[in-house]
């Protein structure tokens, strides 16, 4: 061995001892204390491994050591639970919190969400009770995450799985479910007790399919017990019993009920904060639930009924959250903390930074982050989607002259409408007779049910998925973009970039009512010819700003022009086949 090696090992040993005593020397300091020429000599042997790396690994404490797993997991279900607790460093400080803010990252479960815990527990409890056996069919009405969790368990254990999913749920969830072999049934976003709701449809399927079972996360005691036995115990262990506040979003209510009951037993002083979105009726006191906002974009939390498994008495205080704050907080968690969480995680954290303001230095607030951003790549992670839904301001620097003008300036008229009891055959006849391609379906009360198109109606009948005698509600699109007369044409243009139409609505309490339907042509026909600084007419400027949004050849065959008569507020009736003209 070279002399330098012996000396260097001696230096390491002595300085390592100094470090343990508070000396604080690091590897670069020691290595730089050796002459460069002698450092080079130490690595000249072709047969010897350079001694410096090995010596440091053996003699120096290094935080990134390899951790061996004790065994190979028998299947992926063993990777459910034992999720990490992570300190949230920047966001808490930005709100002036004195307490320690922690995130329980449930998206580290095998299926990507907190719902993996209850999915496994419900299936295994049903197996032990002899209720289900491999080969049976599992049906679950779900917001997506429970469906994914059940699909994961079903794939491993050999069950057929059917998920009944509301239309508002993200396509990412649908794609994951399909990849797991799930049969998916989509339902309108409606009241839980409506015949077409996902819950009612699921029970209808259960009565029709032999050997099928609904484990029913809304009433199954295995739901809160999964969190009582595992999630809460993990929190207590990770925090060494020192927990002063826990913030949990309420979907089925299983997480908040199970965790709260265990923590109340072990840490009676721990405050439980429940998170409920605006538009939901779960929070107490009931006065908190009064709102005109009914459109809830955050998925997985909130309901228009009280689930059986939810024990609201264990919640010390309820907070309401809104979509905008939730999504913006989720984006902050991703950008500032590196926590790739979903929208309801932002809901919980946006409430936590308010609720934890009264906690003192040395106290601890735990926030449950239910799922990951994987399920929402086309939603709140997408800037255009955020702008379209009014959650993010458009930062476009050079906006057209009409960008901030209100939609009401388009001077729109009410469209042709169809009642929900109209048959598919009659709807086809009306659309053809009037020359329309599509029309809104509106209840007598004025509530918008959706949009019916001529092509989709004909395709559905030809494919056998609908009959001529069926009501049009069987073939409607119940997902559509909404805009108010007070919104800007800029927001409208963002919607029409991806959608064929938007519905102009006004809201009253729990319902949306139709004013009119609006298409790209309405926006373009508003442009009044005038000279701008670039020497083009104002309409040409506007069209250049919408070159990627609105084709010069309209979808109904109307050629757009910049020589429209009249001033602002006048709509050119160039084609009688437009709904709303």
Q: Closest Cα to residue 163, out of 180, 140, 197, 190?
A: 140
CA distance 110 to 96: 35
Supply the pLDDT for residue 68: 60
Query: What's the rounded mean pLDDT across residues 380-405?
Result: 81
Supply the pLDDT for residue 519: 52
- Catalytically active residues are 115
pLDDT of residue 560 exceeding 80, the answer is no
CATH superfamily of 407-545: CBS-domain (3.10.580.10)
Per mean pLDDT, which of 296-305, 332-341, 425-434, 506-515 is the most reliable? 332-341
CA distance 407 to 493: 10
Supply the pLDDT for residue 443: 84
Q: What's the predicted TM-score (pTM) here? A: 0.67
CA distance 174 to 378: 12
**CATH of region 115-214:** 3.40.50.1100
Task: Return the higher-pLDDT residue of 415 and 364.
Answer: 364
The enclosing H or E element of 238 equals helix 232-238
The 8-class DSSP code of residue 477 comes to: B
Q: What tokens were used for 574?
A: 């160039």
SS3 254: helix
Query: What's the rounded mean pLDDT across residues 309-320?
Result: 97
List of residues 6+ apart from 256 with CB closer than 8 A: 248, 249, 250, 272, 274, 310, 314, 315
Phi, psi of 411 (to 5 degrees): 55, 55
Query: What's the rounded mean pLDDT across residues 540-556?
Result: 32
Per-residue pLDDT reduced to its tens digit, 115-124: 999 999 999 9
CB 473 within 8 A of CB 464: no
List of residues 6+ apart from 317 with CB closer than 8 A: 271, 272, 273, 274, 355
Task: Return the higher-pLDDT residue of 326 and 10.
Answer: 326
Q: What band does 396 get if pLDDT is binned at 50, 70 and 90?
A: low
Phi, psi of 423 (to 5 degrees): -75, 160
Q: What band does 328 get if pLDDT is binned at 50, 70 and 90?
A: very high
Fold designation for 85-108+225-376: Rossmann fold (3.40.50)
Sign of CA dihedral 68, 72, 75, 78: negative
Q: What band does 70 get if pLDDT is binned at 50, 70 and 90?
A: low
Supply the pLDDT for residue 568: 33
Supply the pLDDT for residue 48: 43
The beta-carbon contacts of 480-484 under 8 Å, at least 24 apart in sequence, are 480/448, 480/450, 480/451, 481/388, 482/295, 482/512, 483/407, 483/518, 484/407
Point out which residues pair with 411 in neighbouring strands.
none
By percentage, how much of the chain surpasses pLDDT 90? 46
Per-residue pLDDT reduced to its tens digit, 290-299: 987 777 899 9
Supply the pLDDT for residue 553: 30
Phi, psi of 578 (to 5 degrees): -95, 130
SS3 491: helix
CB 505 within 8 A of CB 514: yes
Query: What's the rounded mean pLDDT across residues 178-183?
Result: 92
Task: Return the higher-pLDDT residue of 361 and 28.
Answer: 361
Instruction: Provide the mean pLDDT of the chain.
Output: 78
Supply the pLDDT for residue 299: 92
CB 449 within 8 A of CB 441: yes
List of residues 6+ apart from 333 with CB closer than 8 A: 88, 91, 103, 339, 341, 345, 346, 349, 369
Cα distances (angstroms) measured from residue 50 to each of 10, 40, 53, 143: 17, 10, 7, 56
Q: Closest Cα to residue 477, out of 437, 509, 507?
A: 437
Helix residue ranges, H only, 21-50: 27-32, 36-41
List of residues 6+ apart from 266 with CB closer than 8 A: 232, 236, 241
Query: What's the rounded mean pLDDT across residues 4-12?
Result: 43
Q: Closest Cα to residue 100, out of 368, 363, 369, 367?
A: 363
Buried (b) or exposed (e) across 264-283, using 16+ Cβ within 10 A?
eeebeebbbbbbbbbbbbbb
CB 407 within 8 A of CB 341: no
Point out which residues pair with 537 in neighbouring strands.
531
List of residues 6+ apart from 535 with CB closer than 8 A: none
Q: What tokens were used for 412?
A: 């729109």
Supply the pLDDT for residue 289: 93
Supply the pLDDT for residue 500: 74
Burial of 311 (0-12, 13-18, 19+ CB in 10 A): middle
> What are the sequence ranges of the domains in the chain?
3-59, 85-108+225-376, 115-214, 407-545
Phi, psi of 9 (to 5 degrees): -60, -40
CA distance 388 to 130: 50
CA distance 349 to 248: 9
Please determine whether the domains at 85-108+225-376 and 115-214 fall in the same fold group of CATH.
yes
Q: What band does 370 get if pLDDT is binned at 50, 70 and 90?
A: very high
């Amino acid at each position: 061995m070279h002399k330098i090696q012996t000396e260097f090992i001696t230096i390491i040993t002595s300085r390592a001892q100094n470090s343990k005593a508070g000396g604080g020397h690091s590897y670069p300091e020691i290595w730089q204390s050796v002459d460069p020429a002698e450092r080079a000599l130490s690595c000249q042997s072709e047969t010897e491994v350079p001694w410096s790396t090995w010596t440091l690994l053996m003699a120096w404490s290094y935080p990134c050591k390899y951790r061996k797993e004790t065994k190979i997991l028998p299947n992926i279900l063993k990777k459910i639970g034992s999720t990490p607790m992570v300190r949230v460093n920047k966001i808490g400080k930005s709100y002036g919190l004195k307490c320690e803010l922690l995130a329980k990252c449930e998206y580290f479960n095998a299926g990507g969400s907190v719902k993996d815990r209850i999915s496994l527990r419900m299936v295994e409890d049903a197996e032990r009770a002899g209720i289900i056996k491999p080969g049976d069919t599992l049906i679950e009405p779900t917001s997506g995450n429970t469906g994914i969790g059940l699909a994961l368990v079903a794939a491993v254990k050999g069950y057929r799985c059917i998920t009944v999913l509301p239309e508002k749920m993200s396509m990412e969830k649908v794609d994951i479910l399909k990849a797991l072999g799930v049969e998916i049934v989509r339902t309108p976003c409606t009241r839980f007790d409506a015949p077409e709701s996902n819950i009612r449809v699921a029970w209808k399927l259960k009565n029709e399919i032999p050997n099928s079972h609904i484990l029913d996360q809304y009433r199954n005691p295995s739901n809160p017990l999964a969190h009582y036995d595992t999630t809460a115990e993990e929190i207590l262990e990770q925090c060494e019993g020192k927990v002063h506040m826990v913030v949990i979003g309420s979907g089925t209510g299983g997480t908040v009920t199970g965790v709260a009951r265990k923590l109340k037993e072990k840490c009676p002083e721990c405050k439980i904060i429940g998170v409920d979105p605006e538009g939901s009726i779960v929070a107490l006191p009931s006065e908190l639930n009064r709102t005109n906002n009914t459109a809830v974009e955050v998925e997985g939390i909130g309901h228009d009924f009280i689930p059986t498994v939810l024990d609201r008495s264990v919640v010390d205080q309820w907070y309401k959250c809104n979509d905008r704050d939730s999504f913006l907080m989720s984006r902050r968690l991703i950008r500032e903390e590196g926590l790739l969480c979903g929208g309801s995680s932002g809901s919980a954290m946006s409430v936590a930074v308010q609720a934890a303001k009264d906690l003192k230095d040395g106290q601890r607030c735990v926030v449950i982050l239910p799922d990951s951003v994987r399920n929402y790549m086309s939603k709140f992670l997408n800037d255009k989607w955020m702008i379209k839904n009014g959650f993010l301001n458009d930062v476009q620097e050079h906006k057209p002259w009409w960008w901030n003008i209100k939609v009401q300036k388009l001077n729109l008229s009410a469209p042709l409408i169809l009642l929900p009891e109209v048959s598919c055959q009659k709807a086809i006849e009306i659309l053809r007779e009037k020359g329309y391609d599509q029309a809104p379906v509106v209840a007598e009360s004025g509530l918008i049910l959706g949009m019916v198109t001529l092509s989709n109606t004909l395709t559905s009948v030809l494919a056998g998925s609908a009959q001529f005698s069926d009501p049009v509600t069987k073939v409607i699109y119940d997902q559509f973009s909404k805009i108010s007369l007070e919104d800007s044409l800029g927001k409208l243009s963002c919607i029409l970039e991806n959608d064929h139409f938007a519905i102009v609505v006004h809201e009253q309490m729990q319902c949306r009512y139709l004013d009119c339907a609006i298409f790209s042509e309405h926006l373009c026909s508003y442009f009044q010819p005038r000279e701008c600084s670039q020497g083009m007419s104002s309409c040409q400027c506007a069209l250049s700003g919408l070159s990627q949004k609105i084709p010069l050849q309209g979808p109904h065959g109307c050629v757009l022009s910049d020589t429209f008569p009249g001033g602002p507020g006048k709509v050119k009736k160039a084609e009688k086949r437009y709904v709303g003209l």
